Amino acid sequence: MTKIKICGIKTVEDALAAMEAGADLIGFNFYPKSPRYIDVGRCRDIMSVMRKYGHVKYVAVFVNSSAEEIYATMDTCGLALAQLHGDEPADMLNALEGKAFKAFRGIPSDVTGYIRIESPTLLVDAAVKGVYGGSGVTADWSVASELAKKYPLLLAGGLTPENVADAVRQVRPWGVDVASGVESEPGKKDAAKISAFVKAVREVEK
């Protein structure tokens, strides 16, 4: 079954909407320049409500943060995985001891050193200059499908309730990741769009 990650959550209401719709992973973005940025205190407050839902995995998204900051944030908030969405070197994954995966903006020419046994192994997003995710631009599905044959790949980049079924059929990823595609405005999730997104993915699997 294709995993579904709803990313860029900023409120308890949006987190609950994602969980109730059937999300497998919920992401919090700790990159200050993102419209989906959340500070540690607010995330901790949300997680005080959400951690009772053990069937959901909670992911922290970072851009060029230190391993120490990542560990501290994950520990304070009670998050399971770190998504490295910046220009982090492969040895950063070693420092995080199996609790992180690398996101690539564009299709990586070489993933040597970034591959781990955990799922997901890597994330593929669209390449947009100066933007670290959440651009709404679609990634290259044809090339991503080749990577997905080899690795548990999380596909991001411009996914919406309208196109995610086609993406799943073409790429056959381990999972799909959406932020802007289920929002009413940057940083504000739309519960109806989240439900439609999840339903579209599940329809493919029938």
In angstroms, the first-to-last Cα distance of the chain is 10
140 DSSP assignment: -
Gap between the Cα atoms of 93 and 5, Å rounded: 20
Q: Give yes or no: 125 in active site.
A: yes
Burial of 22 (0-12, 13-18, 19+ CB in 10 A): middle
Which of the following is catalytic: 14, 24, 125, 177?
125
Q: Give yes or no: 43 in active site.
A: no
E-strand stretches of 7-117: 25-29, 57-62, 81-84, 100-105
Find the radius of gyration of the CA atoms of the chain: 15
Which of the following is catalytic: 7, 43, 77, 177?
7
- Token pair 């520990």 is found at 75
Name 62's bridge partners. Answer: 84
| Among 11, 57, 35, 2, CA closest to 179 | 35
Structure tokens at 184: 């009413």
- The catalytic residue positions are 7, 125
